[in-house]
Chain A
Amino acid sequence: MRAQSRLGLFLLLTPLLLWLTLLIVIPHIDMLLVSLRERVGVGEYRTSLANYLTFLTEPLYLWTFLRTALMSVLATALTLLIAFPVSYYIAKIAKGRVQSALFLLCLVPFWVSELVRTFGWMILLRETGVFSGLLQWAGLVDGPVEMLYNDVAMMVGLVYTSMLFMVVPLVTTLESLDDSVIEAGYDLGGSGPSILREIVIPHAMPGIVSGCIVVFMLSLGNYLTPTMLGGKESLWFTELIYSQFIVRFNWELGAAFGFMLLLLSSVIVWAVLRLTGQTLEKTMG
């Protein structure tokens, strides 16, 4: 009996274990080994930390790294600011059909690929694009306005791409907040802002944190949006990794970059969890 249930468990876990080992663990070990390799000549390598040293000594890489991290944090914060009222409305105020319709509305952009979405923004923001045309038509500006190729456009794209991943966990946690708890807050003399601060936000914390983690990771690892919407100097760290791997054939440095990115996201996630007093189990479970 027991042996049987063990076997059953093992069989159930096999796909997951295979997935984890073959597609995550082994490639990462391989990447780590590659990142610790230094090219000394044609086809000749030796083990060293040279790639990490390159990363640390080249201001450009460090600067891009920092910029990517800060911009991702900013994108996450903006997404949270926009998504919270939206989620609150969907979870607590809208009812029935309106509720599902609004939720669906958040989902609709994800029916097309990220590429198409990004092109959509390019059509809207470009110099000969929709917004520029509207502004001119309304007489607010004299000539065409370029709204593309800058950090703001990139931020808009990042926030737009991430919105759903913030809204879903927020709606879920906010829905689990009993309406009567909010009413109790009012009943006991709480005002709107104080209830938000003392009741709604503490309750939604797991959702906020898990949404922020997902959005932060997505922004950090985004490639299309920063390259297509971003300006001439908006170098994103993933772009560096891509170019090291694909354009420079410098897998060693690319792998080292990859590990720095992994380290960065891990550290930031850990810091956020510590700061908010949440645990990974609570936010992801």
Chain B
Amino acid sequence: MKLFTLKMPLVLSAAIATAAGLADAASAETLRLLTWGGYAPENVVAMFEKETGITVEVTKSNNEEMIAKLRATGGGGFDLAQPSQDRIAGPQEEFGIYKPIDLSKIDASLFIPSMLEATKANTTVGGEVYGVPHVWGTSGLVVDTAKAGMVRDYTDLCGDAVAGKVSYRLKRPTLIGFAFAMGLDPFAAYGDEAAYKQVIDQVEAKLIACKPGVKTYWGGGDELMGLMRSGEVVASMAWDTGGWKLNADNPDITFVAPASGALGWIDTFALPKKTKAEDAAYQWINFVMRPDIAAMITEAAGNFTASKGADEFVSAELKARYQASFPPEAVDNIKWYPPVPAGLEVIEGAALDRVKAAN
């Protein structure tokens, strides 16, 4: 999940539908990719176009917008999408916006087997697989170690020492992260709406209690970067790559895997239901999963991929940052997001609204 979530002014679904409808006119020789910033860097696109003759049109987005866009068009307008693995099964059951993946067209040898199997399992609906893994990473804490070294877990963001100088998003990762830090297990409660609601209620109370110490709830990656760089915020919830990027500018700031465990996510490849360039989509998947290409994407996005052997091609600098943030025990402690059952968003959303509105 990348840091670009700057939202456009509210666009009526109809406008989305119309725009996407117009985009349908694109020819089969074009691959319309709905992805995250950094996942389709220009040099990779150029290489792919040269190799296959297929033009790639990249649309940058985030999980929620991807699903909203595909839902508005009934799975049209794009040929390949990259939602996170936990956000496929629910929307698929509810809205039917994806098409099953023909695994015979995927070169499985390019994938790290454990990650491929896990993703397949999590994105299976009605016996069909809807996603294969691409990029993975974690979210946790970005901390200015010189000023807020005591922040080791999400709940430390509520500490008096950093009051007025912390920030986080009002989004579901915050709820999940705080739940783990409070000793709860939200993932275990996924299957039981009532139990989940109890978990979220406790987190909500905690977040409201913490609110006075929060400088602002950040909305976009650029905003967070600005807050951390200027020193106005010394600790925040963020993605690992955000921390590493800041680390390059200021060695004091870095990504810290929280004591209760970083939250692990995997962004996938999924075929929109009305894809018009299926073959091109498979070609793209097999192309970008090649270790050399995957390393280029890692350089651009900052996150590692599910490509087997790509690590060798990644720069030493990036590897060093990764190892500093993730000692082996921290890797083992990563909490991978299980698929979100349909309907949980409503519980989370109501809680987030109440936190936002609380005084």
Contact = CB atoms under 8 A, between A and B. Distances in A.
Q: Do chains A and B touch in the complex (CB under 8 A)?
A: yes
Interface of A: 22-23, 26-27, 30-31, 42-43, 58, 60-61, 63-64, 114-115, 122, 126-128, 146, 148-149, 221-224, 227-228, 231-233, 235, 238, 240-251, 258
B10 A60 contact: no
Given A127-B232, A240-B353, A232 B10 contact: no
A221 B357 contact: no
B93 A43 contact: yes
Nearest to A148: B216
Q: Which of A114, A232, A235 has the most CB of B within 10 A?
A: A232
8 contacts: A115-B6, A148-B216, A221-B9, A227-B7, A233-B356, A245-B10, A246-B65, A250-B346
A127 B94 CA distance: 45
Chain B interface mostly helix, strand, loop or mixed? Answer: helix
B27 interface: no
Contacts of B28: none
B356 A235 contact: yes
B7 A23 contact: no
B108 interface: no
Given A148-B216, A247-B64, A238 B345 contact: no
Interface stretch (B12-20, B35-43, B127-135, B142-150): B12-20
A42 B94 contact: yes
B216 A235 contact: no
B114 interface: no
Contacts of B93: 42-43
A197 to B, nearest CB: 38
B353 A235 contact: yes
B357 A246 contact: no
A64 B357 contact: yes
Given A43-B94, A223-B9, A246-B65, A233 B358 contact: yes
In order of increasing CB-CB distance, the 9 nearest A-B pairs are A27-B14, A248-B349, A128-B230, A223-B9, A149-B216, A246-B64, A127-B232, A248-B345, A246-B68
Contacts of A221: 9-10
Contacts of A251: 13, 71
Most buried by A among B64, B71, B223: B64
B214 A242 contact: no
Interface of B: 6-7, 9-10, 12-15, 18, 64-65, 67-68, 71, 91, 93-96, 171, 211, 214-217, 219, 223, 226, 230-232, 342-343, 345-346, 349-350, 352-354, 356-359
Contacts of B7: 223, 227, 242, 246
Given A30-B14, A223-B7, 14 more contacts: A26-B14, A42-B94, A61-B353, A126-B226, A128-B231, A222-B9, A227-B219, A233-B356, A233-B357, A233-B359, A240-B353, A249-B67, A249-B91, A249-B94
Contacts of B216: 148-149, 231-232
A247 B230 contact: no
Contacts of B65: 246
Contacts of B354: 60
Contact of A149 (B15, B18, B215): B215
Contacts of B67: 249
The A interface is mostly helix, strand or loop, or mixed, namely helix
A223 B10 contact: yes
A115 B45 CA distance: 29
A249 B68 contact: yes
A243 B346 contact: no
A221 B9 CA distance: 9
A228 to B, nearest CB: 7
Contact of A249 (B171, B215, B345, B353): B345
Nearest to B341: A42
Contacts of A42: 93-94, 342-343
Contact of B12 (A31, A63, A227, A247): A31
A249 B219 contact: no
A228 B219 contact: yes
Contacts of A148: 216
B251 to A, nearest CB: 20
A244 B14 contact: no
Contact of A247 (B15, B96, B349): B349
A232 B214 contact: yes
A61 to B, nearest CB: 8
Contacts of A247: 64, 171, 345, 349
Nearest to B69: A246
A224 B64 contact: no
Given A42-B342, A247-B349, A232 B68 contact: no
Contacts of B64: 246-247, 249
A250 B94 contact: no
Contacts of B342: 42
